[in-house]
């Protein structure tokens, strides 16, 4: 049977990009999908595509940086469809450039959305799953949370936090029937780079070039994430180059650090 078929699922950041791809794929699996995003118009467009894929959709405006709005999202989900079997904490933003070049407001917003948004999602939805004795939390991290990436220190820190959160929750919740998976894409062809704040235009151009040349299709990233969640795996790293870089980081960390330093020097 197809994983998460006819399930109740919640997807944050569902107005576009990877969140939209998750929602459409779940719709194709006849799921009832709650689409959460601060961009209601974009989420409604996603909802139309979910319904065309033969799924059911409910749009809930939600700013994941606000704990009370995630709590309201959980209440709306319960009222519409009951406890979810899958929660995809996907909402996130990118800030590129050297840490010292970011403003305090940019840094705080990055942490509020990328870290607290995921943490509150887990905090609010995990008890609902534990009460049912089943469910999966699928947190979207990044390969940047596993390896050193020059000029993405702040973003990488938030994604490393998502990895750490997921690791601990995986150990904590697995005995209670709830799986936790952290999806760590490398380059995915979404609008994340286009919408990023960047202190250096060159970094933005480089990011777009990498997306265009080695970027994965959102559908393949979604498939890797759902497959790992269905199997109860902690990690999902969707690309070979991502897995190789992560392997180098674990096996020969000094070499990985040297390579990252050389990349930083070239970017400089």
What span, in angstroms and rounded, lies between the C-alpha atoms of 125 and 137? Answer: 8
Contact, 235 vs 181, CB < 8 A?
A: yes
DSSP string, 57-106: EEEEE--TT-HHHHHHHHHHHHHHT-S-SEEEE-----EES-GGGS-HHH
Per-10-residue mean pLDDT for the chain, 268 residues long? 92 96 98 98 98 98 98 98 98 90 94 98 98 98 88 93 98 98 77 50 54 68 96 89 71 65 55
134: number of Cβ within 10 Å: 13
Q: Which residues contact 226 (CB under 8 A, 6 or more apart)?
A: 3, 4, 22, 25, 138
Tell me the H-state helices in the chain: 17-28, 40-52, 67-80, 104-111, 117-132, 153-173, 201-214, 218-230, 240-251, 253-267
The pLDDT of residue 217 is 82
pLDDT of residue 131: 98
How far is Cα 74 from Cα 167, in angstroms, rounded to an integer? Answer: 23
Output the pLDDT for position 194.
46
| Contact status, residue 94 vs residue 188, Cβ threshold 8 Å | no
Q: What per-residue confidence (pLDDT) applies to 261? A: 60
Query: Which pLDDT score, from 0 to 100, does residue 245 have?
Result: 72
Catalytic positions, please? Answer: 155
Q: What is the pLDDT of residue 200?
A: 57
- Token output for 235: 């990690």
Which residues make Cβ contacts (< 8 Å) with residue 35, sequence separation at least 6?
11, 14, 15, 19, 23, 43, 46, 47, 50, 57, 58, 59, 60
Structure-block tokens of residue 111: 């942490």
Q: Tell me which DSSP letter residue 175 carries.
A: G
Is there a contact between 77 and 8 (Cβ–Cβ < 8 Å)? yes
Look-up: residue for tokens 């959102």?
218
């Amino acid at each position: 049977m197809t994983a998460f078929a006819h399930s109740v699922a919640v997807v944050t950041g569902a107005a576009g990009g990877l969140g939209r791809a998750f929602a459409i794929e779940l719709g194709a699996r006849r799921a009832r999908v709650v689409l959460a995003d601060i961009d209601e118009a974009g989420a409604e467009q996603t909802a139309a595509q979910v319904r065309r894929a033969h799924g059911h959709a409910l749009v809930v405006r939600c700013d994941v940086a606000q704990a009370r709005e995630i709590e309201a999202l959980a209440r709306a989900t319960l009222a519409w469809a009951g406890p979810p079997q899958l929660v995809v904490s996907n909402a996130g933003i990118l800030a590129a450039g050297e840490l010292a070049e970011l403003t305090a407001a940019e840094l705080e917003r990055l942490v509020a959305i990328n870290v607290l948004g995921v943490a509150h999602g887990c905090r609010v939805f995990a008890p609902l799953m534990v009460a049912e004795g089943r469910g999966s939390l699928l947190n979207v991290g990044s390969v940047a949370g596993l390896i050193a990436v020059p000029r993405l220190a702040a973003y990488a820190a938030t994604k490393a936090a998502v990895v750490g959160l997921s690791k601990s929750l995986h150990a904590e919740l697995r005995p209670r029937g709830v799986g936790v998976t952290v999806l760590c894409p490398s380059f995915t062809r979404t609008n994340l780079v286009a919408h990023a704040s960047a202190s250096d235009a060159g970094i933005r151009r480089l990011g777009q070039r990498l997306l265009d040349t080695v970027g994965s299709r959102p559908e393949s990233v979604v498939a890797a994430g759902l497959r790992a969640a269905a199997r109860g795996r902690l990690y999902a790293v969707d690309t070979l180059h991502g897995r190789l870089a992560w392997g180098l980081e674990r096996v020969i960390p000094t070499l990985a650090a040297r390579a990252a330093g050389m990349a930083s020097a070239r970017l400089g």
